[in-house]
A and B are shown apart, each in its own frame.
Chain A
Amino acid sequence: MNEPEEKKLAELLKKSLTPLSPELNRDLWPRMLRRLDEQHPARSWIAALVSPAAIASVPWFDWAMLAALVVGLCLFPRSIPIWLYHF
């Protein structure tokens, strides 16, 4: 194949391929965010903290300790300022 034929072949190849723009004509990031949101719906941190699943995962002895704390505060309300100071 001589040089003119190579040039002609190159031109034919260029014509046969649709031109590609180097930049995408759309922004992919919003679609990516939408897909992520579909997989893991955004929840506020407080909703995640007190979600039924999170509460159900608390073992019974932790509930017992929390109850003991609440009962202790109810029995000794004068200790509340000390708690406030030390937290």
Chain B
Amino acid sequence: MNTHPYLRAYMAGITVPSMVLLIVLSGFLTARYAYHVPIPIERAIVFPMALVPNIFGLWNIFYLWLRPRRHLPIGLHGAILPFILAPTGFVLGTYLGFLSATAEGLVWFGQIHVPYHYFAVGFCFALIAYYLVWKYLVGFFNEVLGIA
């Protein structure tokens, strides 16, 4: 009997970013309408809504495929993902016009200036966040769906 493990891996992978999407959208709306940060929601939401969940799902499929060949703990596997997501988000943000690179650093939404050294620190934090999310949340959903 085919138990469709890759389909379950995809479902387990997309669960966390899909749930977080509600927080993301609430955050964008609050920033725009309460704090008047000029976030172009309709363009900025494309990446977290369409791409990130799918990339999570595909990354979890890749984890399942990779496991019998070269086992990497799921937390470390997830911590590799920002190396893909950060450039993808940068390219998309630049293309959609709300992220620009200047000599001093990156400018988000025309207001938030992030010097490059802060960006490096932030990237380390992203690695930690992804490590924890994948180890505890995606790992948990993998267990629930019987593919851990």
Q: Please, how many angstroms separate the alpha-carbon atoms of A86 and B144 in the complex? A: 26
Q: Identify the stretch in A18-26, A29-37, A63-71 within 8 Å (CB) of chain B at 4 or more residues.
A: A63-71
Bound Cα distance from A82 to B23, whole angstroms: 13
Q: Which residues of A contact B37 (CB under 8 A)?
A: 81
Flag if B93 contacts A85 (CB, 8 Å). Answer: yes
Q: B10 on the interface (CB 8 Å rule)?
A: no
Chain B interface (Cβ < 8 Å from any Cβ of A): 17, 20, 23-24, 27-28, 31, 37, 39, 44, 47-48, 52, 82, 85-86, 89, 93, 108-109, 112, 114, 118, 122, 125-126, 128-129, 131-132, 135-137, 140, 144
Q: What's the minimum C-beta distance from A50 to chain B, rounded to whole angstroms?
A: 10
Interface of chain B: mostly helix, strand, loop or mixed: helix
- Are the CB atoms of B114 and A86 closer together than 8 Å? no
Interface of A toward B, CB cutoff 8 Å: 45, 48-49, 58, 62, 65-66, 68-69, 72, 76, 78-87
B141 → chain A closest CB, angstroms? 8
5 contacts between A and B (CB under 8 A): A45-B144, A58-B136, A62-B135, A69-B129, A86-B86
Which chain A residues lie closer than 8 Å to B39 at the CB level? 81
Q: Are B136 and A84 in contact (CB under 8 A)?
A: no
Q: Find chain B residues with CB under 8 A from A65 CB.
A: 128, 131-132
Q: How far does the alpha carbon of A86 sit from the alpha carbon of B93 in the complex, in Å? A: 10
Complex Cα–Cα for A68 and B132 (A): 12
Find chain B residues with CB under 8 A from A69 CB.
125, 128-129, 132
